[in-house]
Amino acid sequence: MNNQYIIATFGSHSALQILKGAHDESFKTLVIALKKHVSFYQRFPFIDEIVSVDAFLEFPKIEKKLKDKKIIVIPHGSFVAYLGMEGNKKMTLPYFGNKKVLDFEFDRVKQGDWLKKSGINTPKEYKNINDVKFPVIIKSFGAAGGKGYFLVNNQKDLTEKIKFFKNRKFVIQKYIIGVPLYIHYFYSPLTKKLEILSMDRRYETNVDALGRIPFSVDPSYVVVGNSPLVLRESMLPEAYSMGEKVVKKSRELISKQGLFGPFCLETIIAPDQKFYVIEISARIVAGTNLFIEGSPYADLLYNEPMSTGRRIAREIKIAIKENKLQEVLD
């Protein structure tokens, strides 16, 4: 039973996938859930223990109570949304992943620098508003799920919309008209191999509904869900190559250990079939929830259903067996 290690996470985002994957790899599982969601998580037989909280911000208190158990925490999208970057860094329980990557993920300038230095294609960014070639998108720092973004098509609108940001930080990016494709990778520090486990196309309100109306309105980019998509096979080698480049650069730029585990390159594919990478998420993304039973891409690599959640547990299991657990924890 994997030396009785317990895989734990917050009850939201991709917790069900993570905990089912952990159970399938013979780990005990624990979910930290809001009181109002306890009965929901009780429905699932692969969850062994539920710790209830009034708010996720209570985590530091809960952490003290959990420190005598052999817990390994798996972060997902809710961790930073509810605890902030500092809250994540301060976590003392063993954490799957490299926390040093957080600084490069949440500072859009550092992130842009990482992506550009990796040698992958990114949309042009404008520092000076007089140089802007429209259309552009204005994005605040740390926006969650596409909230607080503006599409702007002329100078007057740009001046107006920027006022809205007041003291908040933002970037102005060339708006790429194309298909948003999110690629779900897993890099194993144990095998030193990169895997593409799945991919999704985002569904966003209201931008994805605008084709249904005959007049124009300002689009918004709030994510509501994800749909599956397979990529033209001729574009797959490039998808692998982009993932390898960001992993390699992270070891020079961030720390020796670099980026490992699950991550996602968020791309827009333009009509010239070029990928424009708009963002990197250095953790499990919610689009992987489509593939709890595996995906066409996971199926090419594994002869069993391999979700990203299960792949994380598999990595921890191998690390325990090879006595290398410290290499995958922070």
**Residues of this chain that bind ligand AMP (CB under 6 A):** 12-13, 77-78, 81, 123, 137, 143-146, 149, 173, 175-176, 180, 202, 204, 221, 223, 225-226, 266, 268, 278-279, 286-287
Question: Closest separation between CB of residue 79 and ligand AMP, Å?
Answer: 9
Best CA proximity match to 249, nearest among 111, 153, 52, 67: 111
Question: Closest separation between CB of residue 297 and ligand AMP, Å?
Answer: 19
Nearer to ligand AMP, 25 or 279 (CB): 279
Question: Closest separation between CB of residue 207 and ligand AMP, Å?
Answer: 6
Question: Closest separation between CB of residue 163 and ligand AMP, Å?
Answer: 21
Nearer to ligand AMP, 2 or 288 (CB): 288
Nearer to ligand AMP, 2 or 9 (CB): 9
Question: Closest separation between CB of residue 62 and ligand AMP, Å?
Answer: 18
Nearer to ligand AMP, 137 or 197 (CB): 137
Question: Closest separation between CB of residue 108 and ligand AMP, Å?
Answer: 9
Q: Read off the tokens for 120.
A: 């992958």
3-state secondary structure string across the chain: CHHHCEEEEECCCCHHHHHHHHHHCCCEEEEEEEHHHHHHHCCCCCCCEEEEECCHHHHHHHHHHHCCCCEEECCEHHHHHHHHHHHHHHCCCCEECCCCHHHHHHCHHHHHHHHHHCCCCCCCEECCHHHCCCCEEEEECCCCCCCCEEEECCHHHHHHHHHCCCCCCEEEEECCCCEEEEEEEEEECCCCEEEEEEEEEEEEEEHHHHHHCCCCCCCCEEEEEEEECCCCHHHHHHHHHHHHHHHHHHHHHCCCCCCCEEEEEEEEECCCCCEEEEEEECCECHHHHHHCCCCHHHHHHCCCCCCHHHHHHHHHHHHHHCCCHHHHEC
Nearer to ligand AMP, 13 or 249 (CB): 13
Question: Closest separation between CB of residue 26 and ligand AMP, Å?
Answer: 27
Q: Read off the tokens for 261.
A: 């585990």
Q: Read off the tokens for 205.
A: 């309100």
Question: Closest separation between CB of residue 141 and ligand AMP, Å?
Answer: 11
User: Omega of the bond prior to 45 within 30 degrees of 0, cis?
Assistant: no
Nearer to ligand AMP, 94 or 146 (CB): 146
Nearer to ligand AMP, 112 or 180 (CB): 180
Nearer to ligand AMP, 259 or 269 (CB): 269
Residue nearest to ligand AMP (CB): 145
